[in-house]
Amino acid sequence: MRTRREFLQKITYSAMVLPLLPSWQFGSPHIDSEPYEGPVLRVAIMGLGGYGTRVAEAMKACKKAKLAGVVSGTPAKVKEWQSKHQIPEKNCYNYENFDDLKDNPDIDAVYVITPNALHHDQVIRAAKAGKHVICEKPMGLNAKEGEEMVQACKDANVKLLVGYRMHFEPKTLEVVRMRQNGDFGKILFFQGQCGFRIGDPNQWRLDKTLAGGGSLMDIGIYAVNGARYMVGEEPIWVTAQEMKTDPVKFKEGVDETILFQLGFPSGAVSSCLSTYNMNHLDRFFLNGEKGFAEMQPSTGYGPIEGRTHKGKLTQQHITHQTLQMEEMASIILEGKEPVIAVDGEEGLRDLKIIDAIYKSCHTGESVKLV
């Protein structure tokens, strides 16, 4: 297995051996059957790799969002996407000239789906071009970058959203609803396990210059973010430990496995694992005084499977990226408030925790979060 996205796709296929609605076999059903005549968010995807392709395909089922342009450094990919998605030449850009988006009224937003180290500059450039920005997670390499990205979008009066697709996933939202409703009672503990055995040692995810780290920046961010929305609080301290069994593959600054613990104001704690060296890890567990929730797979492309002390979670699966783009269009166009935030401030909170995790790994000490 080579990448997180292959891992997430594989666990998707594993889950799909369970009985499913027929429409799931062919992509996402529409959000509803009612005709839609309102505004549509016209999106340019920046980065035409595997995940960009997945988002583009998922958007075909959207009513409020559509693919309107592309940004890529590979001319052959641009031509392929032009033909496949009927994208006009005037809506196609490369990494050198995409600042010209400022003069293109046919594109409302740019979805940045490039290696982590490129996010900062590309988001700021897109914002200065006057376009709303959706950025894949992690939003930046560290909190300093995140703060600059948030400020640039504020200065340009555009929205900055982060690709937290799980924030719109129906079973995840049901667990959050139950927690908010008091069904679990006082929250005591959260466990997040996120990992797979990564393959190709030459890929960008194992290059600190492009990735900014290792497993934590890639798969571990699901546990960082999940701990926050499952517990429903912001952590106040972090402890963490790093283990490395293959220093050749996982060079200096590229983490293989990290265990980290978070403490919350209420007294709840979380224990999480992020790894590039163990397969079959995609599980969330939430424990409260009155009940529990368990999800496995918890963050794969779906269907998500889960249960609580009240029984199995049965909410319908909708392709995550379809639902994400539909909801993000509502946020940008209509000012809709999501149940779980997906804005730049949300991305910044995760980056501050990631900074603290790395600091704790290096110092061996607990790090306070403010």
Q: Mind telling me the catalytic residues?
A: 137, 222
Alpha helices in the chain, H assignment, sequence order: 4-15, 50-59, 75-85, 116-128, 143-155, 170-180, 208-211, 215, 221-231, 320-334, 344-363
In whole angstroms, give the CA distance from residue 62 to residue 58: 7
Pairing mode, strands 257-263 and 92-93: unpaired
Which 3 state secondary structure label does DSSP give 186?
coil
In whole angstroms, give the CA distance from residue 343 to residue 221: 16
Structure tokens at 110: 């740019």
In whole angstroms, give the CA distance from residue 96 to residue 24: 39
**Which of 240, 263, 256, 211 lies closest to 360, judged by CA?**
240
**Which of 327, 326, 347, 323 lies closest to 338, judged by CA?**
327
Residue 297 φ then ψ, to 5°? -70, 150
Burial 248-260 (b: 16+ CB within 10 A, else e): ebbeeebbbbbbb
Chain position carrying tokens 């709840």: 268
In whole angstroms, give the CA distance from residue 65 to residue 329: 6
Count Cα neighbours of 189 within 13 Å in the Cβ-side half-sphere.
10
Which 3 state secondary structure label does DSSP give 260?
strand
Which 3 state secondary structure label does DSSP give 328?
helix
Q: Got the DSSP string for 277-304?
A: S-SSEEEEEEEESS-EEEESSSSSSS--
Is 194 within 8 Å of 282 (Cβ atoms)?
Answer: yes
Residues shown for the chain: 370
